[in-house]
Amino acid sequence: MPLKFKRLLWFLLVGLGLIAGAAVWLFFQFARPIGAGPAGPLVAREAFAKPWIARPVLLVGLGDSVTAGFGARKGYSYFDRLAKNPPDDFPELSGLCLSAIFPRLTVTNLSVSGSTSTEVMARQLALLPTNGPEVLGLVVMTTGGNDLIHNYGRTPPREEAMYGATLAQAQPWVENFRRRLETTLAQVKSRFPGGCAIFLANIYDPTDGLGDAERAGLPAWPESTSVLAAYNQVIQDCATRHPEVHVIDIHRAFLGHGIHCTQFWRANYDRHDPHYWYFVNLEDPNERGYDAIRRLFLTEIGKTQSHFK
């Protein structure tokens, strides 16, 4: 083979190698494949095999866009799927819904996309009447996330628009969140003199615990994971003080399904489902994410059967 052809072949192979290397680098840095099929843990079927009680049960949704179902088709939010299965639900979840165990189930979803914790306390609770003693309340709630992410660094950090705050700066706002959440939980319980169970989700992290929001095109927030952890600790503390409150740990479940989902060298990488569970706006789940949240709520609700009498 003439020398000039060998050189040409060498340059061609090097060029192809560089292109392939760049493609691999771009994939692991920026790809966010959604995947298909079920997402999240299996749900034990035993607790949902037969009705629990004959009393009327009111399922109430409170909170922000996660409970409102932003980004999901009608019937495919976690709240909708809790109440009843969509017609094309996954076979392993057929019949695993609240209408199967509560024959007299009614639902009302008072959550509003974009709501902060103050708006949940002041506006949504105003729409929740006091029920009769025969009604058992089952309340699902997501709150606090918007307190953290508003206004995405477009304005200086302030209470309930904390993006960019240091932990020291945020500390009084965290304590105010504690007071608001305590008031919200007390008010919810007062609306159900016949008893209630409250299932309160904590707050997930689309950066998979790395706190590098700038990789998603947002302003850098060096202390984001510390501020998020402080809010989640408030949620856990409040649940500890109220036996009716059960925490749904979506924070743990969603690690590995954020903007680093393809990066197999990360500690939170999920080799069984290395896919992105968030919607295009980064702050809400996609439909696979809502499926995972539905499963987490069902699993925790299934553990509380003895409380429903």
The pTM score is 0.91
C-alpha of 105 from chain center: 24
- Assigned domain for 31 exists: no
Q: Is residue 2 part of a domain?
A: no
122 domain-assigned? yes
Domain that residue 284 falls in? 52-307
Please list the pLDDT of the chain residue by residue as tens digits (309 residues).
Answer: 566 656 655 555 555 554 455 444 444 465 789 999 999 999 999 999 999 999 999 999 999 999 999 999 999 999 999 999 999 999 999 999 999 999 999 999 999 999 999 999 999 999 999 999 999 999 999 999 999 999 999 999 999 999 999 999 999 999 999 999 999 999 999 999 999 999 999 999 999 999 999 999 999 999 999 999 999 999 999 999 999 999 999 999 999 999 999 999 999 999 999 999 999 999 999 999 999 999 999 999 999 988 776
Asked, for residue 229, whether it belongs to a domain, the answer is yes
Gyration radius of the chain over CA positions: 23
Contacts of residue 6, Cβ cutoff 8 Å, sequence gap at least 6: none
Residue 37 lies in a domain: no
| Total domain count, the chain | 1
Q: How many Å apart are CA 295 and CA 131, to the nearest integer?
A: 28
User: Hey, how many other C-beta atoms are within 10 angstroms of the C-beta on 180?
Assistant: 21
As a whole number of angstroms, the distance between CA 143 and CA 239 comes to: 13
**Residue listed under structure tokens 């680098």:** 25
Task: State the chain's maximal CA–CA distance in angstroms.
Answer: 94
- For residue 151, whether the previous peptide bond is cis, meaning omega lies within 30 degrees of 0, is yes
Confirm whether 6 is domain-assigned: no
Contact 146/66 with Cβ under 8 angstroms?
Answer: no
Does residue 25 lie in a domain region? no
Instruction: Tally DSSP H helices, then E strands, for the chain.
Output: 10, 5
Instruction: Please give the backbone phi and psi of residue 240, each rounded to the nearest 5 degrees, phi first.
Output: -65, -35
Q: Has residue 224 been placed in a domain?
A: yes
CA 296 vs CA 29, 75, 155, 292: distances in Å = 29, 17, 35, 6
CATH number at residue 99: 3.40.50.1110
